[in-house]
Chain A
Amino acid sequence: MSQVTNVTPVEVLIPARSWKNDLRGIKVVWQRELIRFSRDRMRIVTSLIQPILYLFVLGTGLSTITGSLGQFNMRTFLFPGVITLAVLFTAIFSAGSIVWDREFGFLREMLVAPVRRSAIVIGKVCGGATVAALQGFILLVFCGLVGIPYNIALITFVALELILIALMITAFGVMMAARIKTFQAFMALTQLVMLPMFFLSGALFPLANLPTWLQILTHINPLTYAVDLVRRTVFSFIDVPPGAEIFTHGVMWGDWRVPIWAEVLVIIGLGLIMLQVAIAAFKRL
């Protein structure tokens, strides 16, 4: 055991903290999420199952009632919502890794490091969002099967939107996970929040002619704006046949059809607010 005692130790002099340190912190927390995601192939596959069921089983089943208008059918309508669902689930579960980290002690390793808590939170949100967006990108492969063209511009726009949506949802998840001590509690909370959010987002039905209570619930749901944003982008690249107008009915504030820029602002704004809340929660840890 004495063979290395004569070696001169490599002295490490850590420079005083600067924004560069915090950037390195963000980067390494982000990288860790990616490494863990790439190791977990099972998760990549299993989290595709649910969106595929919605898209091809529910979509095909419902199409027998609604019928098809040329290329356009229920699957086409469901597609934007289902991609958003994939992003939602992956983002929330990535954020849930904070609860794992807490249970397995790794969170403490991060909390005692001489970096800003905000760097850890931002790294975590970026990492989770990257993973979630990637999961959404995988589903874009199915465009052709649901009557949506493989158009570079369409895919680019949708991809950018998915990144934005993934950031918002991961910030939301981190905000929740920072307060939760056990994984069971986190699972319970996700069931309580995630499914209602999905069902109330207009992912599975158009937002037209809804009773008032449902109208209100869907419109205060952040995910509604995400689904509508993606759906409008997709629909702008296909010919929605006459008779399918009900499917293009999107988010209305009174008589005002909320424009795309406003939806983007809602998502960015909510994302930033939730990020701030998450950082504040982390500072109290």
Chain B
Amino acid sequence: MSLSGVNTSAAAVEVTNLVKKFGDVTAVNGIDLRVERGETFGFLGPNGAGKSTTISILCTLLDPTSGHAKVAGHDVVKERDDVRRNIGLVFQDPTLDVYLTAEQNLRFHAELYGVPRDVMKPRLKQVLEMVGLWERRDGIVQTFSGGMKRRLEIARGLMHSPRVLFLDEPTVGLDPQTRASIWGYLDQLRQAEDITIFVTTHYMDEADNCDRIAIMDHGQIVAIDTPTQLKAQVGNDRVEVRTPDNTAAAVQLAERFSVDATVVGDVVVLSVPDGEQFVPKLFSQYDGTIQAVAVFRPSLDDVFMSHTGRDIRESDAPVRGMGMPPMMGRR
């Protein structure tokens, strides 16, 4: 830690050796973290990994047992109100007043946060337009769908122009299409505003939307990097080649490119460090007919598995349907 405040003020979130214990249970076990301004930062991990506890500390809802955390340059314990003014929150569970209209919910928030009256109206219009709810501003929230409510919560979290927007599992319980649209709005948001987005999720495909991700397990951060780097660390890409004679092809490929080549089903599976660069070499140097080629990068599921030793879905609390077929290999 540098002692001068100059560098630290640049970070949106800065966490040093953070610990949170509930009685005998250590929910957060000494994490360090630095999120730069303007980043979209993903916090990944199964339920019970300590994500929500960490986010609650960063949002001043819980005091840490030990360690320090700063959000937007302010200490989460000593400068609670300064932190609160600078953050927007979208919780895992809905926190709207469903008996009020969309606009009334936002106005309530703006008044409570002390948004100056002259900018209240234009800001209200802007955030509601951003999430596509301006036409529905007079609708009672009770009549809204799950996706609309979530969008409204995002709009509300933005009402006071926060520096950092925290989203705790913003897409949980929503259908895939709505999940995608929520990410669309978030993407649009980070282009439109100077904002840092800090999002927790246990959907691996969503984490790919982030600039950097941290994987949390048992209260500790087990990996932190860009999604691309994390996947690169996991290991080789997988290239699947289909030929008229796979057995012969496997032998030739293994010899010529000195890679592992095995026949799996109707394809030859190769394990190479960089699949995209391998494909041109394959076509120029392979002697024979190639019917099809597919390149698979390691997924974040693989990343999670390699760091925690298990699939994120296995470690997840909700019980899945009994009749589900087992997951088939890597995707």
Contacts and interface: CB of A to CB of B under 8 A. Distances in A.
A202 to B, nearest CB: 37
A105 B104 contact: no
A106 B188 CA distance: 27
**Dominant secondary structure of chain A at its interface with chain B:** loop
B326 interface: no
Contacts of B111: 24-25, 27-28
A12 B95 CA distance: 22
Given A4-B188, A12-B119, A14-B113, A35 B95 contact: no
Interface in A102-134: 104-106, 108-115
A10 B188 contact: no
13 contacts: A1-B188, A2-B188, A13-B116, A13-B161, A14-B115, A21-B114, A27-B111, A32-B100, A32-B104, A39-B99, A105-B91, A110-B112, A111-B61
A5 B188 contact: yes
B138 interface: no
A62 to B, nearest CB: 40
B192 A4 contact: yes
A105 B191 contact: no
Interface string A140-171: 00000000000000000000000000000000
Interface stretch (B121-129, B200-208, B244-252): B121-129
B113 A113 contact: yes
Given A4-B188, A113-B84, A105 B114 contact: no
B85 interface: yes
Nearest to B86: A14
A9 B162 CA distance: 12
Interface string B102-122: 001001110111111001001
A112 B60 contact: yes
Given A14-B85, A35-B100, 16 more contacts: A4-B188, A9-B161, A11-B119, A12-B115, A12-B160, A14-B116, A20-B114, A24-B111, A28-B111, A32-B108, A36-B100, A101-B97, A111-B61, A112-B60, A113-B109, A114-B85
A4 B130 CA distance: 7
A111 B96 CA distance: 13
A105 B161 contact: no
Contacts of A15: 114, 116
A257 interface: no
Contact of B116 (A12, A27, A106): A12
Given A4-B188, A14-B160, A113 B93 contact: no
Tier of interface size on chain A? 35 or more
A41 interface: no
A11 to B, nearest CB: 6
Nearest to B185: A1
Contact of B98 (A27, A104, A114): A104
B323 to A, nearest CB: 34
Contacts of A113: 84, 109, 112-113
B273 interface: no
Contacts of A28: 107-108, 111-112
A12 B159 contact: yes
B59 interface: yes
B62 to A, nearest CB: 11
Given A28-B111, A114-B114, A12 B84 contact: no
Contacts of B81: 17, 114
